[in-house]
Amino acid sequence: MGRFRDISINRKLSLIITLTSVIALLLACAAFVTYDWIDSRQTLVSRVTTLAEMVGTNSTAALTFDNEQDIIETLDALRTAPHIVEACVYAESNRVFAKYHRDAIDFTPPPVEDFDYRFTDDHLVVFQPIELENRIGTVYLRSDLKDMQDRLTRFIGIVIVFVLISSFVAFLVGSRLRQIISDPILHLARQMRIVSEEKDYMVRVDQESEDELGQLIAGFNEMLTQIQDRDVALESARDQLVERAEQLQIELVERKRIEAQITASLEEKEVLLKEIHHRVKNNLQVISSLLDLQSSNIEDDQFIEMFRDSRDRVRSMALIHESLYHSKDLAKIDFADYIRSLANNLFLSYGTHAGSVSLNMRADDVGLGVDTAIPCGLIVNELVSNALKYAFPTGQKGDLNIDLRTDADDHITLTVRDNGVGFPADLDFRNTSSLGLKLVNALVNQIGGTVDLQIDNGSEFTIEFTA
């Protein structure tokens, strides 16, 4: 079967037509031979049965009068039927009355059987009763099957010759007719090979019919048309892509040039910005030093306190500019690190007054821009300064806690809490004459946040805003 798939379509069609014709002829001839064989058997049975009836009829009188010679003569007449091998006439009680053999040899007749006839491998056996009012005897005939076998042999020979001749004619006629199917298919295959090897999608196959082959050819032509259209579209798209790639290459070169300029400009601005932060920090430190020098010539404690508060505020702003100067990101400051430094500086500023207070800090990593960092730094400065000045009088020990927390939505919570004497219950921190608290409220509004005060077991300021 595998070899059959690989042969040409012409040979396939020839083989299919020839094999189909041969098989059909063989089936028809087999039917005819079978029918003739059955008919020959029936004819032989009829002929032998007729002979048996004739022998029985001619033997009636001889059996009645026990005339053996008449029956022998009757049986000798069977020589005109050469297919009768042997015969016998039985009298009553199945006694052999007379017998006949084609070759005139002695034989032993078989016992009388009840059936009319039966076929053996090579003979037909017939038992025919002889009746005269009732059964007076039986006729036994045995015939060979030579006529049937000769007829069958002749039929088989005729069938073989007929099948060979018919197959040859079918092959010749099929060879002519197969071209109706094979030629369009072979032409289509050649055109497909041209398209496959030469990539020429302008090739078309002539459609000569409207049958399945015609529809196949029409579909092939339509497929080539679509491929050709897509090929043209792809070619156009490729040209556009090449052109666009060239444009992008030019734009990329130009963009790299511009990026180089921007990078150089940013580096210059970064250097300049760092220099600005450095100079602002230096100027603020000069101001802080001047305030410190000025306060040394003042004897009034109230004025000294005012100068120190102003100095601390200036230092808190200077510390931010110093952090930005040392930071890699000039847009944002590490506020957690900043408030650590600020709180430590404030504790150093208040010296022995703050020596009995413990500083506890917990801070998340928070990056703030300078516009937000400066107000927040001043807020922390004021709240920590107030706690160091007022929450722990006369060397009282205590804790000062600073918490800085942030969530996924950049919502920041700043808490400054002490366990000192607490905030006066009758004092509204939003409406007070204290400059520090006024600054806290003003700076919270500036960063768009809210401030809340809890005075249970000390003071706790909570400022919430968004970075």
Helix-, strand-, coil-residue percentages of the chain, each rounded to 5: 65, 15, 20
Tokens 């079978």: give the residue.
Answer: 34
Q: What is the largest CA-CA distance in the chain?
A: 189
pLDDT higher for 218 or 406? 406
pLDDT at residue 347 in the model: 77
pLDDT above 60 (res 275): no
How does pLDDT run across 425-437, given as a tens digit for each residue?
777 788 877 777 8
Mean pLDDT computed over 9-32: 78
Give the Cα separation of 461 and 467 in Å (integer): 19
Which among 308, 307, 290, 385 has a CA at the least distance from the CA of 342?
385
Q: Any alpha helices (H) in 392-432, and if so which ranges?
A: none
pLDDT above 60 (res 267): no
Amino acid at 300: D
Highest mean pLDDT among 7-21, 110-124, 294-308: 110-124
What is the residue-averaged pLDDT of the chain?
78
The structural domains of the chain, with segments of one domain joined by +, span 2-171, 332-467
Distance of alpha carbon 49 from the chain centroid? 80
Give the Cα separation of 118 and 231 in Å (integer): 83
Give the Cα separation of 50 and 56 in Å (integer): 10
pLDDT at residue 126 in the model: 93
pLDDT at residue 282 in the model: 57
Do the Cβ atoms of 88 and 13 come closer than 8 Å? no
pLDDT at residue 36 in the model: 86
Q: Is 332 helix (H, G, I), strand (E, B) or coil?
A: strand
Edge-first strand order for the sheet with 134-144 is: 96-101, 84-90, 134-144, 123-132, 117-119
pLDDT at residue 297 in the model: 65
DSSP type of residue 390: I
pLDDT at residue 9 in the model: 67
Do the Cβ atoms of 59 and 138 come closer than 8 Å? no
Q: 294-320 burial string, b = 16+ CB within 10 Å, else e?
A: ebeeeeeeeeeeebbbbbbbbbbbbbb
Give the Cα separation of 30 and 42 in Å (integer): 18
How does pLDDT run across 416-465, given as a tens digit for each residue?
998 888 877 777 788 877 777 888 888 889 888 999 988 888 888 999 98
Confidence of residue 4 (pLDDT cuts 50, 70, 90): low
CA 17 to each of CA 12, 55, 160, 375: distance values in angstroms, whole numbers, following the listed order: 9, 56, 18, 102
pLDDT above 80 (res 196): no
pLDDT at residue 3 in the model: 61
Residues 6+ apart with CB under 8 A from 103: none
Q: Which segment of 161-170, 174-183, 390-399 scores lowest on mean pLDDT? A: 174-183
Four-way CATH pick for 332-467: 3.40.50.80, 1.10.150.120, 3.30.1280.10, 3.30.565.10 = 3.30.565.10
pLDDT above 70 (res 268): no
Q: What percent of the chain has pLDDT over 90?
A: 8
Which among 387, 368, 364 has a CA at the least distance from the CA of 376?
368
Q: Are strands 84-90 and 134-144 parallel, antiparallel or unpaired?
A: antiparallel
Give the Cα separation of 140 and 89 in Å (integer): 6
Which among 142, 150, 104, 101 has a CA at the least distance from the CA of 123?
142
Q: Which segment of 97-101, 302-306, 405-409 scores lowest on mean pLDDT? A: 302-306
pLDDT above 50 (res 62): yes
Mean pLDDT computed over 347-361: 72
Confidence of residue 104 (pLDDT cuts 50, 70, 90): confident
pLDDT above 60 (res 203): yes
Q: What is the 3-state secondary structure (H, E, C) of 239-290?
A: HHHHHHHHHHHHHHHHHHHHHHHHHHHHHHHHHHHHHHHHHHHHHHHHHHHH
Do the Cβ atoms of 99 and 88 come closer than 8 Å? yes
Give the Cα separation of 171 and 86 in Å (integer): 51
Do the Cβ atoms of 392 and 420 come closer than 8 Å? yes
pLDDT at residue 273 in the model: 46
Do the Cβ atoms of 388 and 350 come closer than 8 Å? yes
pLDDT higher for 274 or 292? 292
Which among 152, 147, 104, 144 has a CA at the least distance from the CA of 126?
144
pLDDT at residue 309 in the model: 62
How does pLDDT run across 276-309, given as a tens digit for each residue?
444 555 555 556 565 566 566 666 666 566 666 6
Four-way CATH pick for 2-171: 1.10.1660.10, 4.10.410.60, 3.30.450.20, 1.20.58.1610 = 3.30.450.20
Query: What tokens appear for 27 in the block?
Result: 């089936």
Give the Cα separation of 371 and 377 in Å (integer): 11
Report the predicted TM-score, pTM, of the whole model to 2 decimal places: 0.42
Residues 6+ apart with CB under 8 A from 228: 201, 202
Tokens 């000039």: give the residue.
Answer: 330
First-to-last C-alpha distance (Å) of the chain: 81
Q: Is 323 helix (H, G, I), strand (E, B) or coil?
A: helix
Do the Cβ atoms of 374 and 413 come closer than 8 Å? no
Q: Is 455 helix (H, G, I), strand (E, B) or coil?
A: coil
Mean pLDDT computed over 73-83: 88
